[in-house]
Every structure is written in C-alpha cells, then in structure tokens.
Amino acid sequence: MHIDQGLPDIWTFTKTFADHQKTLKWLVDEGVFSISAPNCPNGNQMCAIFPSRKMPLWRCRHRNCCGAKSISMQNSSFFGSKKVPLHKIMMVIYFFLASGFNGTNKQIIESTKLAPNTITSIIDDIYLLMEGDLKLEDMTIGGPGIVVEVDESKFGKRKVSKNGKGKKVDGVWVVGGVERTPERRCFLATVPNRTAETLTNLLTAYIAPGSIIHTDCWKGYNQLENQDEDYIHKTVNHSVEFISSDGIHANTIEGTWNGIKIRVGTRYRTEKQMPSKLVKFIWRRKHSSNLWQAFITALKEVSFGDITSPTNSSTSNNNENNTSNTSDGPVPQFTQVVLIEDNSSTTEEENAIEPEPSPLLHHPHLQKVMMMIIKILHLINNKREEETIKE
C-alpha cells in the first residue's frame, strides 16, 4: 500500500502504537501532554504522574496537604473524556487521515473494532481539532496582483422516492474562492442565499485588498467594484463561453467543486454536515505535504478547554468555547515532572481506561496479499499468547 502526505506506513504505525502503554509513552515523548502543572486545592503545585496501564495524572504529593488530590492530564487535550485506549484513538486518526474523503466510518470500524458511536464521537473531535488549527490567515487569500477565482455551487438537493417515501435532503449553497497560485489557497463557506449583500460581505472578509477577482456574470457579484478594497473585478459569461477572449475564466474553482463533490457523499451534502467537510478540505490542502506531522502539532497546540482544578470541578465550557487555538505563544512545558510508576490503589475514575490487546491493523486499502500476511501474524500472536498462559 502506498502511503503519502507524510503518513507512516502501516507496519511502522502498528509497531509504534501497538498498545495503550506504548502509545501513551509516544504521546508524552512528543509533548502532546506537555501542559503547565496546576495547583491543588491548598495551592501546592501538583506533579506529573504516569501510572502504568492508565492515563497520566496531575497529583498532589505533598504530605498532610489535600489527601493526594489528582486530575487527569487528558482533561484539556484531544483525548479528554474519552474512555477508549489511546492506541485505538490513534488508529481512528490514522485511518481517517489516510482515507481522505473516501474513507467511511464502516471501514474504520472494521479496522479498529470500535463501536459506531465511539467512532463518530472521535471523528467529530477530529473535525473540531482541524477547525481549531485553522487561523484567520489560512482563510484569507489573494493580495495585490493575485487572481482569485470565485464561484458558488449547490451541494445536494431535495429528493423523494417515487412512492413519496424516503428521506428528504435539502441542499446547501457553498461559496468558494481559490488563488491562481501553486499553493491554490482557498476559502469555502456555506451561505443561506446568493444575494449581493451576502456575497459581498463574504468576499470582502476573505479576499485581501488589491486582488483580481474572476467570477461569472451572476448579479450577486455586481457590488464588488463599489468596495473600498481596490478589487479588480473581471467576469466571464458561462452561458456563452468558459474562457473569454481576454483569458478570463474560473476553471480552477470549477475543478475544486468537482474534487469536493467526488469526495463528499450525497448524504453529507447538508447544511449541518457540509461545514465540517469544508474545514477538512481546507485543512488538508494547507498541510498537504505532511498531514501526519501537522495533526500531531495540532494535538499539542489546540486546547480542548482549560484544566479543571479540584476546587472548581463543576466548571465546564460549552462546545462553542471548548476549542481555542493556543499557537500564539510557545506551548507551556511541565514545571515539575515526576516520572513515577504508581501501583498504589486507584479510584474508579483512574481505572476507567484499561489497555486492551492490540489487534493487528486491517487497513481497508491493503491488497489481498497484505491481508493474508496480517491474518498469519495474528494467528502467530495468538499461539504465543496460548503458550505464555500454559507456562
């Protein structure tokens, strides 16, 4: 199987993320859990503890203080509140990135053996992480002398079966712009309508002043020339030609629409689903050279909420405020790290995640020969386990 865009090959991934404990060590070594230490209820700084077979914790180890209060270190990370072994979560991430738009939850379920609802929850957080990783400048395109092609496209439409039954699907309008540059930076947004006010507000927000804007002759673009951004607006009449005599066209954005529609299934072309699909498209284009490293960096830099201290455990943020980008400054490091294999009695919360035997990965795109090799390795592994039990 050919893996590009910076993703590790399937064998390297299987070895690195073989089980929960190896995955935990890798994440700690990569700095994914490197966040500043909180204080206990009595104001003493807590220590980083890495219990064997469990998630890392912040724990107060001062004598006669607060009774060894502890906080899960995953609280403000992507892995917060997930009762799934870490290697399974990383498997979902890997297959999600490797499959692009064509991968389905069914294929990921077959690969990870997780419940459908669990897969959906993890993927929803992946979308949130991608959105949190994108900055305003990632969506602002164009500039003096740069051509930006702009167009709008309808995704999905209302469908009813011949007998009048079946689910009705309402389509959604998407407006997009693409730079005519090697990077092909773009912005994409769903809109309620295509009025001049809607289009003008959107384009002035995402296209830099001085850009040369190419559109079709839709009347909603007519107000662009009256803006203060010094746009140069040129049009091509698609009812007559696709490229005007002076070379004006919007073929790049038309190709972008075709690429998105090929990769986004009809069932996802709704007002609710399309925004996340568009975020994924922009994120993947931004990091097309190395998706894997970009995602690991996002795991470090995007916070899923501040650490909840033991004195204020009831405080929580709503979903709208849970994702914030912290890339404006350096990622804070541990101020006090104590590597301790803690085998003492633990609470029910600390025991929530137990490692599971790591199944050999079954990638949906592997050829039949690769699948046979995996099955053989799986049988060998089972045989070794049986011999260990007998001993």
CATH of the domain at 233: 3.30.420.10
Cα of 314 vs its chain's centroid, Å = 28
Containing H/E element for 172?
strand 172-179
Does residue 129 lie within any of the structural domains? yes
- Is pLDDT at 304 greater than 90 in this prediction? no
Residue 230 and residue 115 share a domain: no
Residues 154-167, mean pLDDT to the nearest whole number: 65
Q: Indicate the range of 80-89, 355-364, 366-375 predicted with least confidence.
A: 355-364
**Is the domain of 207 the same as that of 104?**
no
* Total Cβ atoms within 10 A of residue 366: 16
Q: Are residues 173 and 253 in the same domain?
A: yes
Question: Tens of pLDDT along 265-293?
Answer: 888 888 888 999 999 999 998 898 889 99
Return all residues near 187 (Cβ < 8 A) that are at least 6 apart.
139, 140, 141, 176, 177, 206, 207, 282
Share of the chain above pLDDT 70, in %: 68
Helices 291-301 and 20-30, packing angle to 10 deg: 80
Q: Which of 173-187, 217-231, 334-348 has the highest mean pLDDT?
A: 173-187
Overall pTM surpassing 0.85 (yes/no): no
Residues 119 and 190 in one domain: no
Whether the pLDDT of residue 365 is over 80: the answer is: no
Q: How many domains does the chain have?
A: 2
Over the stretch 16-52, which tens digit does the pLDDT of each residue have? 999 888 888 888 888 887 556 777 777 777 777 766 5
Residue 170, pLDDT above cutoff 60: yes
Extract long-range pairs of 365-369: CB within 8 Å, 24+ residues apart.
365/1, 365/98, 365/99, 366/1, 366/10, 367/1
pLDDT band at 188 (very low <50, low <70, confident <90, very high): very high
The answer to whether residues 128 and 150 belong to one domain is no
pLDDT above 50: residue 352: no
Q: Are residues 121 and 166 in the same domain?
A: no
pLDDT over 90 (residue 331) = no
- Together in a domain, 200 and 244: yes
167: containing domain:
138-272
164 lies in some domain = yes
pLDDT for res 303:
76
Segment 77-96 shows an average pLDDT of 86
Three-state helix/strand/coil letters over 219-271 = HHHHHHHHCCCCCEEEECCCCCCCECCCCCECHHHHHHHHHHHHHCCHHHCCC
pLDDT at 1: 37
Beta strands at 70-72 and 57-59: parallel, antiparallel or unpaired: antiparallel
The answer to whether residue 365 is domain-embedded is no
What pLDDT does residue 179 have? 94
Q: Is residue 78 part of a domain?
A: yes
Residue 3 sits at φ, ψ, to 5 deg, of: -115, 125
62 pLDDT band, cuts 50/70/90, is confident
- Percent of the chain predicted with pLDDT > 90: 28
Rounded to an integer, the average pLDDT of 240-250 is 86
Instruction: Decide which of 330 and 303 is more confident.
Output: 303
Q: Is residue 334 part of a domain?
A: yes
Q: In what order do the strands lie in the sheet with 172-179?
A: 186-191, 172-179, 147-155, 212-215, 232-235
SS3 378: helix
Residue whose C-alpha is closest to residue 155's, from 173, 167, 143: 173
Q: What is the pLDDT of residue 175?
A: 94
- Quick one: 250 and 144 in the same domain? yes
> Smallest Cα–Cα separation from 155: which of 38, 281, 20?
281
- How high is the mean pLDDT of the chain? 74
With beta carbons less than 8 A apart as the criterion, state whether 27 and 86 touch.
Answer: yes
Q: Tokens 């004006």 map to which residue?
A: 248
pLDDT in tens, 215-239: 999 999 988 878 777 899 999 988 8
Separation of CA 157 from chain center? 27
Same domain, 150 and 237: yes
Q: Which one, of 35, 15, 186, 188, lies nearest residue 94 by Cα?
A: 15
- 71 and 179 in one domain? no
Q: Mean of the pLDDT values across residues 108-124?
A: 87
Q: Are residues 262 and 146 in the same domain?
A: yes
Residue 378 lies in a domain: no
Q: What angle do CA 89, 381, 27 make, to 5 degrees?
A: 30
* Residue scoring higher pLDDT (188 or 337): 188
Q: Are residues 106 and 147 in the same domain?
A: no
- How confident is the model at residue 332, as a pLDDT? 27
Q: Which of 188-202, 230-244, 296-310, 327-341 has the lowest mean pLDDT?
A: 327-341
**Residue at 65 is within a domain:** yes
Within a domain: 160: yes
Among the residue ranges 6-15, 211-220, 349-358, 374-383, the one predicted with the least confidence is: 349-358
